[in-house]
Structure 1
Amino acid sequence: MVYCGKPSKGCGNCRSRKIRCDQARPACAQCIRAKRECPGYRDQLSLMFRDESRSVIRKATVEVGASPSIGPKSKGPTVRSPRTDCPDGKKGSNGPVGRAMRPRDPIHQSVDRRASAFCSLSPEVQPPAEASREEAICFFLRGNAIPGNVWAGEFVERFMDDPSPTPSKRAMQSSLLAVSSAMLSRARKKRSLQRLAQEEYVSALNLLNTALADVKEAKTNQALGAVILLAIYEIICSRAPKDIDQWTRHITGATALLHLRGPDQLKTEIGLRLFLHLRYQIVISCIQRTARVPRSLFDCTEHAIWLRPAEDKSNRLIMIIGRLASLRADLREGIVTDSHEVLAITSRLEADLVAWLATLPPEFNYQTETVTPYDILFQERRGGLVPYDDQYHEYPNLWISNTWNQYRCTRIIINEIALDHIRKLALSSTNASLSEEIWQQCKAQRINIRRLAVDICRSVPYILGALPNSRSHAALPLERFMGGLTVLWPLFLAGIVERPNHALRCWVIQCLRLIGHSFGFDQALATMDIVAADAGILREVDDHNVAEECPSPVSMGTPPIMPDVHYTQIPASEETII
């Protein structure tokens, strides 16, 4: 695959007229103004990398035919291979194969170099009918091109620095190809890529089982990276709600690997990044299964506090979430049964969250904006995403927005547990004045849960890159692929807060459908089905109706949990938390 430069994103009419195109859907403003039919937009990735196999074969044949034999040199004219046109009309190199056009953009050059490191070329040069494996990996790297992401930058290249073909390295290669091909198969709607993804997935499982049989191999970064990639594959390909258990099994396996690796895994930058990437998934998986968080994860988190002071806020939040998981496990096992004791525990957790909130530095501040009536192209420009209640948040970076949603999800679950036991006390109380006091507290819990759910919805446009003041996109930008992963769990919790047919739940369902179709996440569609069928944490009844049936907080479904992605810090702007 040869890089042919960054092509124009404009429609055909705007490119031919050499004018700026706003890339609006279904037709750009320039075509509407000129009363022309807008021809639409091209697939950027297919234009950026072009199959040059036929050209390589032709050049090789010419060079072989022109090679001098033993004897005097031929004095005939030199045969030159024709130039190769790029899709946007630019000219390629007319030199030998070794001087094929190189990308001028250093970012794309780095992506192309890293992708080439994963793909071994076949001895026979054959033009592929479909997108190549290298192109699929480029597609994956582009979707993760966010500063600090463990799958971006030089981190992926370092994973493969070891030249020896170890089982763990081969397992990670197959896992990466499985995820990359699955992503591209949804973007291109190619069944051949889907079959390739399934084949690589099976190959990765077999190679990983071989690697895990050796303790030394099981402790490598490549083995853990392969498991994480397989979990991402399940997010992309698991459409049925029951298939979500496949993701859970991979996370459980990754938990065992973290325990085996111990604190020593934090001594390298890649090992520390992998731990920070994975730990939130493990903690929330424990909450889903009402299981206890392994002690080894807490031990590694305590080490991480000293090794990475910049992660202090996230580390302390993880410790609080871990305690919440322990409470849910105690409730399931019947260790804690007294409602007064449960409320005392939830009050301490709530107080710790409020204290954590009070210590956040200014760079965690965000702003709440309102969509104005004049922004009529917001929905068309942003892939159909409309902010809930016409309001959205703006954060300094994606890592901070993810941390805020972790806090909101934790507090929703704490308030749900407290609400359930407040109702139980009210039902068992014979004191009218005490019952009234309890119901007032119940009302306050409802208000907290609703406010947190709305804040989650307001964070979604930023996380998915659908803001009116950012660079225009005809659809949700691929670079927000990881944002789409991280927002599924918060959207699930926000969606099950209200009763069916409530405006907030309807908005969440539409948002999950958009994520599923825009990013190709089948698990987003599975989550959508779970949300649509849930009875809701809050019911549309009077707060004093003691006959209300309360949902049990320990019987929550097992929706998908998305990776905890950490990003490099960005200098804070002067913003205020609304």
Structure 2
Amino acid sequence: MALPFFFYHYLPNASGRALSHPDCVSILYTQATERGYLASLINAVGLGGLAYVRNAPSLIHVAGHIYAGALHGIRVALAEPAEAVSDQMLVAVMLLALYEVSLFWDKRKVELKITVIRRHVDGALALTELRGTGQLRNRVGRSIFLSLRTEVLVNCLDRWLRVPAALTNWMNEAHIFEHPQEAPAARLADIVVNACTILASLKERVTEKSNVSAYICEILSVDKALESWANSLPDDYKYSRSPPLKVSAPTLFGESDSYPGIDIVHTWNLHRCTRIILHQALFEILSPHTGSLPPQPAISYSSHEQQLQASDKMIQESSRGIYSSVSYILHFCDQPGRSEDMRGACILPLLWPLYVAGTTRTATDTARQRVIFQMQKIAEVTGIQKAKSMALGIQKSYLSPPVI
């Protein structure tokens, strides 16, 4: 039962619609029924999801036992140079993160889980270093690298951390072997790196007037680059407004956009989250100083009050874009003309954008309630417990007054 559950939620190509990184999928299909650490991880993830969907706590213990065996197998395999740099090893490290964070997220152990996922990401980056430039020429290696790049960027944006130099170095290398269809996402990744650098500096809480003004200019400069990115996209990256799908009203946010592909919608949502986080950072800088700082020549607004209003508008627009992507993502894996249960592989990249939009300073009560409902539904259908934890986090922010 665990294997079909995993295939259904994380390898949903039976619908005939290609999911992200098909080469990674082929590795999982090949290894799933064989003996070894990768097969054990697949079973552990499948059993973990079943435990929550079927309300069968005993399966959690079994999944944990299998997972422990997989960890032992990975440690043994890492001692073999050829196995340590194999594609299946890097895929296995990504599955470790899926098991630890997405399926067994406990609100009482959030910091512990964050530490665990950091270790997995650090491990994946270390393996990337060992694999060398050749991985960027190989379709499988390149697919895995692009997935890892997104994971690291999201983690750094969410926690206001600088992007590790190891990743930025490989991002520069990846440009050399870049396919035309990858170029827009790669350009966005470079901009996100700059955004993370500024946010990490802001964590130092520098409050001198000269530094505040400089940070405002830097944030607006990166935001301008994000705006230019959106305006310069090729036609095959653009989306269009379409009628909402006929599903229950609480799962929708009013509008529905249609995209050329699942990777593209997730790229757009990374763009939207970056703008939201930057503009909320502006509020953190400006609100304590509104009226006390003189307008800066480099800023295109006549006053800081106008900047706050413009930031509110941008946060609202970006949040609407995230909400309008929900229907497309939820139903990407449906059979043509038939609505089926949501799939975990499509849903995972949506969780963080929904959380970001649902916790903005401009989020309405209705929007928060619908995000919470959607998160709870995701946890119920897919077994992804991170969705339930995020719903609780949004509910907490919804009940508590915003702190600026």
Partners of 2:134 and 2:332 in 1: how far apart?
Answer: 40
Contact 1:461–1:467 under 8 Å retained in 2? no
Amino acid at match of 1:353: L
Q: What is the DSSP-based 3-state SS (H/G/I as helix, E as strand, rest coil) of the residue aligned with 1:233?
A: helix
Equivalent residue, structure 2, for 1:202: 68
Alignment of 1:433-452 (within 5 A): 437-452=303-318
Partners of 1:465 and 1:186 in 2: how far apart?
Answer: 22
For normalisation by structure 1, the TM-score amounts to 0.61
| Residue identity (%) | 26
Amino acid at match of 1:419: F
- Greater RCO (CA < 8 Å, at least 6 residues apart): 2
Amino acid at match of 2:127: L
Please state if 1:417 is matched with 2:281. Answer: yes
Amino acid at match of 1:409: C
Quickly say closer, same or farther: Cα 1:137–1:524, change in 2 above 3 A: closer
Describe the superposition over 1:52-75 as per-residue Cα deviations: whole angstroms up to 9, x where unpaired.
xxxxxxxxxxxxxxxxxxxxxxxx
Which has the larger share of helix?
2
Equivalent residue, structure 1, for 2:202: 331
Partners of 2:13 and 2:274 in 1: how far apart?
Answer: 26
Quickly say closer, same or farther: Cα 1:406–1:191, change in 2 above 3 A: same
Contact 1:512–1:525 under 8 Å retained in 2? yes
Matching residue within 260, 263, 275 for 2:133: 263
Partners of 1:153 and 1:436 in 2: how far apart?
Answer: 51
Partners of 2:43 and 2:97 in 1: how far apart?
Answer: 13
Contact 2:342–2:378 under 8 Å retained in 1? no
Quickly say closer, same or farther: Cα 1:267–1:484, change in 2 above 3 A: same
Please state if 1:240 is matched with 2:107. Answer: yes
* Per-residue deviation, 1:160: 4.4
Quickly say closer, same or farther: Cα 1:151–1:436, change in 2 above 3 A: closer
Cα RMSD, aligned residues only: 3.3
Quickly say closer, same or farther: Cα 1:149–1:336, change in 2 above 3 A: farther
Please state if 1:321 is matched with 2:184. Answer: no
Equivalent residue, structure 2, for 1:5: none
Partners of 1:254 and 1:503 in 2: how far apart?
Answer: 39
* Per-residue deviation, 1:140: 4.9
* Per-residue deviation, 1:294: 1.8
Equivalent residue, structure 2, for 1:358: 231
Partners of 1:221 and 1:387 in 2: how far apart?
Answer: 38
Alignment of 1:389-428 (within 5 A): 390-428=254-292
Matching residue within 150, 172, 196 for 1:280: 150
User: How many residues align structurally?
Assistant: 390
Partners of 2:365 and 2:85 in 1: how far apart?
Answer: 48
Equivalent residue, structure 1, for 2:359: 496
* Per-residue deviation, 1:331: 2.1
Quickly say closer, same or farther: Cα 1:336–1:154, change in 2 above 3 A: same
Please state if 1:387 is matched with 2:278. Answer: no
Q: Which runs of 5+ in 2 are unaligned?
A: none
Amino acid at match of 1:464: L
Amino acid at match of 2:218: I
Partners of 2:309 and 2:85 in 1: how far apart?
Answer: 50
Q: What is the DSSP-based 3-state SS (H/G/I as helix, E as strand, rest coil) of the residue aligned with 2:203?
A: helix
Deviates more, 1:210-219 or 1:266-275: 210-219
For normalisation by structure 2, the TM-score amounts to 0.85
Amino acid at match of 2:149: R
* Per-residue deviation, 1:188: 4.2
Equivalent residue, structure 1, for 2:183: 312
Q: What is the DSSP-based 3-state SS (H/G/I as helix, E as strand, rest coil) of the residue aligned with 2:338?
A: coil
Contact 2:20–2:263 under 8 Å retained in 1? no
Q: Which runs of 5+ in 1 are unaligned?
A: 1-130, 540-548, 551-578
Partners of 2:214 and 2:69 in 1: how far apart?
Answer: 50
Quickly say closer, same or farther: Cα 1:268–1:406, change in 2 above 3 A: same
* Per-residue deviation, 1:267: 2.8
- Rg (Cα) greater in structure: 1
Contact 1:415–1:449 under 8 Å retained in 2? yes
* Per-residue deviation, 1:279: 0.8
Quickly say closer, same or farther: Cα 1:483–1:136, change in 2 above 3 A: closer
Quickly say closer, same or farther: Cα 1:275–1:436, change in 2 above 3 A: closer
* Per-residue deviation, 1:393: 1.3
Alignment of 1:89-238 (within 5 A): 131=1, 134-140=3-9, 142-143=11-12, 146-150=17-21, 155-156=26-27, 160=31, 170-191=36-57, 193-234=59-100, 235-238=102-105
